[in-house]
Amino acid sequence: MALGARDTQVCITCSNVKSFLAVLQTIKSTSKQPCTLIIGHEGFSARLEDDSRSLFSSVFVAAQLFADFKCPGAKRTLGIPLNQLIDILNVFSAGFGGDLNLKYPGPSNELLCEMVEESGAANACTYASISTSDAPYPADPLDHWSPPVSHFIINGAFLKEAIEDLEWSASGSRGVELQMSAQPPSVSLCSYGSAGDLLIDLPSAELQGFSCQPEGIHFTYKHKHLRAAFTSLSVPKDASASISTKVTIDSQGMVKAVHLVNMASAAKSSAMSAPISYSALPSSQAGGVRSSVIQFVVIPEEELDAPISE
């Protein structure tokens, strides 16, 4: 029986806990909802739905990015409080370069983590267990994705700055309006608040892969959702790296923001911080499976039916 249990247990070995942690932290939120982990033979993903049900965050790390990845049998879905998982990974990331082993399920369906380190004066073994709950396979908001779509790619720093600037006028207002027009190609973000109105045009010279439906785009979103989708990536310390983000908007106003995180250092990391770079190139161009995918989907606010102003 024990052997049988081991045969069907998910076993993941992660040699770069810092990168793994950094990726998961991008979708960290204050939401009390447990995050759903989906572990299948193709990789590890975490999905989180905001309490308001209009922000969906997800992270996908391909199996190849782990030092070892065994997931016999069908896909597993499990509910786990994301903050607890991050707290625990934080403990392991402080370690001295041992491999982290993740196992599921434990004797009472926990997620088990273990790290054995042989450096230092003594042998150390750190282990943890996190209780999990049953979780149904999460509904994918992209099931309701309705073409035609409009999209653009931009250095994430511009988006981040725009969203941060909009903060003062967005508080107390209905939200942030995202406008796109096909001719001339332009993207603007604006908010009309009690403190004042602010409209920010993203520099059109920086827009790439621009495509907009001829009638233009005009939707309103909660500021905090856009902030989560556009700004939660921590900017790499070295200035040479930049974040570029692909933003796609469908005909109903559903926004999909995709960030690809290069985990090239997944091979073997030292105790130093692992370099991470962000790019929004399709994974085939960005070195195939070296990247993990962080995706945010934001649903527009209901009252957007009435256009606010021109």
Partner 1 sequence: MKFKADITDHGLRLLEKGILPTLEKFGKTCQLLLGPVDIHLLQTAVNTDGAHTVVRLAHEAIFEANSLRLESKHHNLIAFTLELALLSRVLRAAGANDADLLEVKLALRNVSSGPNGVTQARPFLTFTSQGANMNMVQDLPITKPFIAEEIDKLSREKDLAQLCPYYINLQGEVSRLQGLVDKSKGISSTMTLVTTKGGAIHIHVDGGSVQLACEMHGLQVFPAGVSETATPITATSAEARLKEAIEKGQTASVCLLARHFGKSLQGGQLTQPAQLLCGIGENLGYVHLLFIFRDPLSEGGYDDNMGLSFKLPVRDDS
Q: Which residues contact partner 1 (rule: CB under 8 A)?
A: 81, 84, 87-88, 90-91, 94-96, 114, 117, 120-131
Q: Which is nearer to partner 1, 100 or 286 (CB)?
A: 100
Q: Which is nearer to partner 1, 32 or 310 (CB)?
A: 32
Q: At closest approach, how far in Å is the CB of 130 from partner 1? A: 5
Please state, in angstroms and rounded to a whole number, the distance separating the CA atoms of residues 149 and 163. 22
CB closer to partner 1 out of 55 and 115? 115
Beta carbon nearer to partner 1, 118 or 140: 118
Q: Which DSSP symbol is given to 28?
A: -
**Nearest one of 47, 131, 129, 135 to 88, comparing CA atoms:** 129
Sort residue 247 into left (φ over 0), alpha (ψ -120 to 50) or beta: beta
Q: What is the DSSP letter of 261?
A: E
Instruction: Tell me the C-alpha distance between 267 and 282, whole Å.
Output: 21
CB of 234 to partner 1, least distance (A): 18
For the bound state, the minimum distance from the C-beta of residue 286 to partner 1, rounded and expressed in Å, comes to 32
* Tokens coding 30: 């204050």
Give me the least distance between CB of 79 and partner 1, in Å please.
11
Q: Considering beta carbons, is residue 128 or 198 the nearer one to partner 1?
A: 128
CB closer to partner 1 out of 94 and 139: 94
Contacts of 154 (CB under 8 A, 6+ apart): 187, 202, 206, 207, 208, 244, 245, 247
Which residues make beta-bridge pairs with 60?
A: 45, 293
Quote the radius of gyration of the chain (alpha carbons, Å): 21
User: Taking the complex as a whole, how short is the minimal distance between the CB of residue 129 and partner 1, in angstroms?
Assistant: 5
For the bound state, the minimum distance from the C-beta of residue 17 to partner 1, rounded and expressed in Å, comes to 12
